[in-house]
Amino acid sequence: MWSNFFMQQEEDGRVGVTSGGGAGMKGGRGGKRRNPTISDSQEGKIKLAFFVAIVGVTLTVLGMGTEFWVELAQPKNLSNNQTCEMAHYGLWKSCRRTLWVSDIDPERESCGPAELPGESNCTYFKFYTSGENAVIFRKTTDKSLSIAAAMLALLSLTLMVMGSICIIMALSKGVLFFLKPASFCFITSGVLVLTSIIVFHQSVIALLASDHSIPLHHELSWSVTCVGSAGAILIVGGVLFLLLSLPYSPWKKCFQQQSGST
């Protein structure tokens, strides 16, 4: 009798477990889908891509804060003196330098470069405050193009901050949802940075065309190199975030297709 009782209890327990498991499966199917979480390997890749993006942000801030976007140099023997004048400026201010001709390379026809020792006088542009154009060697700046280049650079910097916040949220919450908006922010900021260089170069051309009485040699300087490199790095970082946000690895999928075809 006792053996029959225990056998009945075991059968009832199995039925209860089976029904509970089926209800759990139904609840899981009917519940909301959760955002895909970040694994340990993905977290390392995201941090590496974030480091690449931070390098781009650092170069952008360095280029935006310096006034070595372009150098304007007079011929070194223009006034037949022992000194010559040159100027260099960026998005916010310009500097006029007086250099010794003896310090300049004899094979160089124009005054410069700006790294040579000499007297310097720097002033901030007034078209951000009072709306006045700047005059450099009797040449007048184009206010609209200069302001457009600066605004594009500031907008790109804002997008970089937003992208960085998205990556910090993704790492802290452990979800992949924030990678796509971060990718959009970094790619767009890189495009805006490169566009600001193009607009700035157009402003330099407009400056040179405003007066032809004084010949000037112009060349883009190292600040533009920093900003241009930053734009390319930001685009690469954004593409990396976009690849990491995909639910599958594109490299593995390509390899599987190649192995399947062979």
Q: For residue 249, what pLDDT is reported?
A: 57
Provide the pLDDT for residue 163. Answer: 95
Q: Residue 89 gets which letter from DSSP?
A: E
Q: What distance in Å separates the CA atoms of residue 52 and residue 130, rounded to the nearest whole number?
A: 39
Nearest-angstrom CA–CA distance, 168 and 82: 57
> What mean pLDDT comes out for the span 158-181?
91
Cβ-Cβ contacts under 8 Å for 169 (sequence gap 6 or more): 178
Give pLDDT tens digits for 232-258.
Answer: 999 999 999 999 888 755 555 554 555
Length of the chain: 262
Residue 40 vs residues 7, 53, 70, 182: alpha-carbon distances, Å: 47, 20, 46, 20
- The arithmetic mean of pLDDT across residues 55-80, rounded, is 90
Domains of the chain by start residue, with CATH: 40-247 (1.20.140.150)
CA distances from 115 to 231, 233, 238 (A): 25, 27, 35
Tens digits of residue pLDDT in 48-58: 999 999 999 99
Q: Which amino acid is located at 72 in the chain? A: L
What average pLDDT does the segment 36-58 reach? 87
